[in-house]
Structure 1
Amino acid sequence: MKKIESDKSTELVEYYEAKLKKLFSIRKQLKDYLKQENTKIQEVVVCDDMFVEYPYYIRTKKGGKYWKAALKFHIKPEEL
């Protein structure tokens, strides 16, 4: 009886290890993609029990000082 229980738990452990490995792989792919796109996601802001916000910013070659003007005139920073 104990042998059967230990075999089941071994299967369960292997199942969860496989799931974790897959999730870590997906997380690494997402992190690499965001790094390639020069995007940084900040800490999650909980608005209420139904909504959360993910503040982010995008790094540009010209730097952050152009973003204020771009937002004011509704243009892309590359056009400045």
Structure 2
Amino acid sequence: MEGFLHPKSTNRAFVMFTEIELEEKIHKLKQDLIQIAVTTGINSQDTICASQKLDQHIMTFLKLSYNIRQRK
């Protein structure tokens, strides 16, 4: 199984994610976003932050997925 190196490392050590782990993380963030939006409102700062975090993970997944497929 292919792995992804997470580009945002806090201490120069890369964290390894598999494609499945990233997909699971994105799914969890989607669920969290829905719950936050229901609780605090669609335009709340908490909802916006959760949405941005989800967007970052989706973009990371898409970029890394594209790069791996280009190498094949």
Question: TM-score normalised to the size of structure 1?
Answer: 0.36
The higher-RCO structure (CA 8 Å, 6+ apart) is 2
Structure whose residues are more often helix by fraction: 2
Of structures 1 and 2, the larger Rg is shown by: 1
